[in-house]
A and B are shown apart, each in its own frame.
Chain A
């Protein structure tokens, strides 16, 4: 393992391009989504919940970025802001070379066929009163693709593609399907318009592991066949380790570490990433050796309306030192296409820390 080269700091909003030189399907720069807090009779804005607070990343075409964090960290809001399902407060999102944030609403509507979403809860994301065939053809209807007969044919083709025999399923209602089958329908609907980019928001967290494994297999198969680029949002690090090429760790609306998946797992450079990795319940002794020894995080995630000064993780960080309260760390370059937001990587600040842990440069 070579020592990281001279730290190259990236201030918020500066582009983080993963795998420079390759074609990028998605480029996100300084994306913010703030929800105003209004108080008093005049409903004056007195503050903001910074659900997503300046995140930047890119995803090379045909690859998967896993966005990981605990509940409330803003990962779902980030996914929705990227697709403009939620209107971003600031920042730009470029998908397939088009600046999505600059599109007018009619342009956005027709551009949506390129970017789709698969939702977490397969039950509430399918209309219970419509048949499977009609659910899958809906996006084609909206975008005026084909006629009734060709759409039906396409729906049957899509059902076969996601592993549901079309003849059995096309005329059934969602309530007659199991969780895994419903999620297959959700996936068929998402790919019905041949999108280039799909946001997968915890697509398997409502499913059993034996079903999850099959859905993951399907998603990987579709990625190969249809050349899809994925943003895979999840709280399950072990799962993301297996599906993502790149991984971004979020805490309180910001990316605290980002890089190649196997590198982040093998050489985590942010104390939060280490704590998350250490808490994964594993099922083999071999896996036990692949994660850091258990780190217990004190306290709870701070109120996003009232964030701590300096580094937002410092209130729970086992490595925090005095400097952490004074300065909000930028993303430091900690290795080849690997960035971490922690002052331990700043030579000046880290000198003030009582002890720099071994893992920070190992």
Chain B
């Protein structure tokens, strides 16, 4: 087994607000292997962008990380100095932002913004010798940037290199952003909803392009999206996030065959489908982070919640070797050693998941049968 490229362990992030401390990220565990595309899926306000910003070290002054580790190639990024992290950003780890309209600086040409990456990559500050070297490398930088624009299938890369962002369409700008993000040959690319602002035909082209380019280069991708359909298309593993916690983690096909957490199931049921219609949605609102529920953060919206769900924390447990779920409806060994003590206090008996037959604990085949027999979409 290879060591993961990125291993986020027990990450907590809080924000100081006027209303008190908002405990947004509550013990997130997330890992990405080299060359793998992992999706982080969740709805507005669930903390997926906060997680990605924590990885990049872009959280801003009101954020506190009281606990947790972010291991990148075995090194804890949270222990690095500001300058050392600065050198990582844009070099080993890069990011594509959601909105292609605002992510490029309107007063510089595309070329300026691309060659900046090459000038700054891996450097903490520019020295005089760097400056001189850059002067001699200008043509080389230009060539590399133009080649990259060609790689993202921009038909006239020389012209685009000298263009200002305002001259380009949304789809073209997103291609430029992908080019910028891949220019430094990063090991990890964080893509934060790169298709959301685009039309569906443009989005599917961008997704295919991103997939080609990253698998060619062996780049790992953390793909952040609210759209399970997109996650299904691009990723090999999915983490479902709700209210600052990862509630379910599984390989993509397993998650779609046997979704376990009531939130994941509600989310899937809400998606308009071509075959089976549109479900009932999920009632209620995301909890207030300044006063989050003590145990299960989903309990107030969960149709299967029992009184114990509001008292005992549903630590993530392994229901299959590669499937973890944070819900009392399932039994299984704790997914992380830090939950051993909680698990030793004994299982919480809230009965088996109501959508499964008696005594079944969701072996793949059984749950597939249950999921497709129409009970869900009745």
Binding site for B on A (CB under 8 A): 70-71, 178-180, 208-217, 235-239, 241-243, 265, 275-276, 279-284, 286-287, 290-291, 294, 296-297, 300
Docked-complex contact B277 and A279, CB < 8 angstroms: no
Query: Quick one: which of B266, B267, B272 has the most chain A CB within 10 A?
Result: B272
Chain B residues with CB under 8 Å of A280's CB are: 200, 229, 274
Structural contact, A208 and B44, CB atoms closer than 8 A: yes
What are the 7 A-B residue pairs with the smallest beta carbon separation, nearest first? Answer: A281-B229, A213-B281, A214-B281, A210-B282, A213-B270, A70-B199, A208-B43
Query: Which residues on the B side are within 8 Å of A180 (C-beta)?
Result: 285
Interface string of B259-276 (1 = CB under 8 A from A): 000000011111111111
A275 x B278 contact (CB < 8 A): no
List chain B positions with a Cβ less than 8 A from chain A. Answer: 43-44, 169, 171-172, 199-205, 208, 226-230, 232-233, 256, 266-283, 285, 372
B204, B233, B281: the one contacting A212 at CB < 8 Å is: B281
Contact B200 A212 (CB under 8 A): no
Partner of A291, one of B233, B272, B274: B274
CB contacts (< 8 Å) of A215 on chain B: these are 281
A214 touches B283 (CB 8 A): yes
Closest chain A residue, CB of each to CB of B195: A281
Once A281-B227, A281-B232 are accepted as A-B contacts, the answer to whether A209 and B201 lie under 8 Å apart by CB is no
A282: chain B residues within 8 A (beta carbon): 229, 232, 273-274
Nearest B residue to A285 by beta-carbon distance?
Answer: B256
State whether B274 touches A238 (Cβ < 8 A): yes
- Which residue of B267, B274, B276 has the most chain A CB atoms within 10 A of its CB atom? B274
Contact of B275 among A179, A275, A290 (CB under 8 A): A290
Alpha-carbon distance between A265 and B274 when the two chains are bound, in angstroms: 9
A-B contact pairs, 6 of them (CB 8 A): A208-B44, A209-B271, A210-B43, A216-B272, A281-B232, A286-B275
Whether the pair B226, A208 counts as a contact (CB closer than 8 A) is yes
B41 to chain A, nearest CB (A): 11
Q: Output the nearest chain B residue to A238 by Cβ-Cβ distance.
A: B272
Question: In the complex the two chains form, is B232's CB within 8 Å of A283's CB?
Answer: yes
Residues of A within 8 A of B205 (CB): 296-297
Contact of A300 (CB < 8 Å), options: B169, B208, B275, B372 = B169
Question: Chain A residues with Cβ under 8 A from B270's Cβ?
Answer: 209-210, 212-213
> Bound state CA distance, A211 and B45, in angstroms?
13
Partner of A284, one of B44, B233, B256, B277: B256
**Contact between B282 and A276, CB atoms less than 8 A apart:** no
Q: Report the Cα distance A32→B44, complex, angstroms.
A: 38
CB < 8 Å: which of A243, A265, A281 contacts B204?
A281
The smallest beta-carbon distance between A133 and chain B, in angstroms, is: 21
Which residues of B sit under 8 angstroms from A71, Cβ to Cβ? 199
Given contacts A282-B229, A283-B229, A300-B171, contact A209 B43 (CB under 8 A): yes
In the complex the two chains form, is B280's CB within 8 Å of A214's CB? yes
Considering only CB atoms, which chain B residue lies closest to A218 in the complex? B281
B228 to chain A, nearest CB (A): 5
Chain A residues with CB below 8 A from B169, complex form: 300
Residues of B within 8 A of A265 (CB): 274
User: A275 — which chain B residues lie within 8 A by C-beta?
Assistant: 201
CA distance A283 to B44 in the complex (A): 20
A216 and B203 contacting across the interface, CB-CB below 8 Å: no
Cα-based distance from A283 to B230 in the complex (angstroms) = 8
B86 to chain A, nearest CB (A): 34
Considering the chains assembled together, what is the distance between the CA atoms of A212 and B270 in angstroms?
Answer: 8
Contact among A235, A281, A290 with B230 in the assembled complex (CB-CB below 8 Å) = A281
CB distance from B239 to the nearest CB of A (A): 16
Compute how far the CA of A237 lies from the CA of B278 in the bound complex, rounded to whole angstroms: 13
CA distance A194 to B226 in the complex (A): 36
Q: Are A279 and B203 in contact (CB under 8 A)?
A: yes
User: Whole-angstrom distance between the alpha carbons of A171 and B229 in the complex?
Assistant: 39
A14-B267 Cα distance, complex, nearest whole Å: 44
Shortest beta-carbon distance, B52 to chain A, in Å?
18
Which A residues are in CB contact (< 8 Å) with B44?
179, 208
Q: How far is the CA of A180 from the CA of B285 in the complex (A)?
A: 9
Contact B275 A279 (CB under 8 A): no
Q: Is B229 a contact of A213 with CB atoms below 8 Å?
A: no
List of B residues within 8 angstroms of A291 by Cβ:
274
Write the nearest CB–CB distance from B43 to chain A, whole angstroms. 4
Extra inter-chain contacts (7) besides given A208-B44, A210-B282, A243-B278, CB under 8 Å: A209-B227, A210-B43, A213-B270, A236-B200, A237-B200, A275-B201, A281-B233
Bound state CA distance, A209 and B264, in angstroms? 12
Nearest Cβ on chain A to B218's Cβ, whole angstroms: 25
Q: State which of B171, B204, B272, B282 has its C-beta within 8 Å of the C-beta of A241.
A: B272
Instruction: Output the least CB separation between A246 and chain B (Å).
Output: 17
Known: A283-B229, A283-B268, A300-B171. A217 touches B275 (CB 8 A): no
Q: Which of A210, A215, A217, A294 has the most CB of B within 10 A?
A: A210
In the bound assembly, the distance between CA atoms of A242 and B276 in angstroms comes to 9
Q: Which of A208, A238, A241 has the most CB of B within 10 A?
A: A208
